[in-house]
Chain A
């Protein structure tokens, strides 16, 4: 998949992580001990969520680094494209000439084959 789309998806994933981490924390809030004698087992979801977000940020940075730079101006690109279009047209003309030659040769060859077949049938 091309890099621009990957980047766009990564940005969207980051936003999703923001939202889902806040959501998770509000819905499944870590427990607070009411009584100092009663120990409470609290899952450390905050740490995991923070880890996810920072990992996504690192991925984003890596993807940004891999972005192809804009090396040519649009005018230079259009010029290249016109050049290529011209070359393509020329190559097509040459290809069609070669095909034409091949067809003529094919006719010669079929004629020769027929003669050979006739000779052989006469002989045998």
Chain B
């Protein structure tokens, strides 16, 4: 019989949290009763016997305010950028709407000047370096803060660009699908005219097993339209009405239509 602790030390995965043992059938029944009728005295005595509050069986509600801890670090529930005053750093650039480019440049120059001052202090009285180092630190923090304030704007811009992209792609796809449909329809219409012609000219009167409506017009106009569709289908423009040439055109039309089918799929 293995010691469960030893098993835990050697196990690949951590053990489940200990409160899985609370989820027994009687406890779950108690939970249902507590939710529906909380003032029942039998219920209250039964609940007092449990070593834990009954509503611990429900999942905890989401945290709405303040700070929550995750992976050992505190995270604010409302994720906003803390202002410099809140972080305890002096704000060197003016409040409100400012020209970010100008302020950043000013901060850049003052960083260089402060560094020069630092070197000067170090060469004259090295013990007093702390104030200058602090100044440089404040300047850098200010610069980073100005940039952090850009980030939400950048996120929205990126989102807008991506949505534009998606919209364009969808519209192009729709147009392509519609065009392929139109091409196929033309092919089908051409084939139907061909079929009418084939069934009317050789046999003369046989129209029985044709499930498409065949126009019983005289043969000459039908032959004329067939020659037109023959040149459209790109087949031999000279043949009119012969059954072998109809077979050739059929085969060609068939291969082309299968190609168009593939593009649809």
Contact = CB atoms under 8 A, between A and B. Distances in A.
A51 interface: no
Contacts of B125: none
Size bracket, chain B contacts: 35 or more
B156 interface: yes
Size bracket, chain A contacts: 35 or more
B81 interface: no
A8 interface: yes
B258 A113 contact: yes
Interface string B147-164: 100111110110110011
A65 B102 CA distance: 9
B239 interface: no
Chain B: interface secondary structure?
Answer: helix
Given A53-B115, A120-B247, A95 B170 contact: yes
Given A11-B140, A88-B166, A123-B247, A18 B100 contact: no
Interface in B227-263: 243, 247, 250-251, 253-254, 257-258, 260-261
B159 A81 contact: yes
A68 B104 CA distance: 13
24 contacts: A11-B147, A14-B111, A22-B119, A57-B112, A60-B108, A61-B108, A67-B150, A77-B156, A77-B160, A81-B156, A84-B163, A84-B164, A87-B167, A91-B171, A92-B170, A101-B178, A108-B188, A113-B254, A113-B258, A116-B191, A116-B254, A117-B254, A119-B250, A120-B247
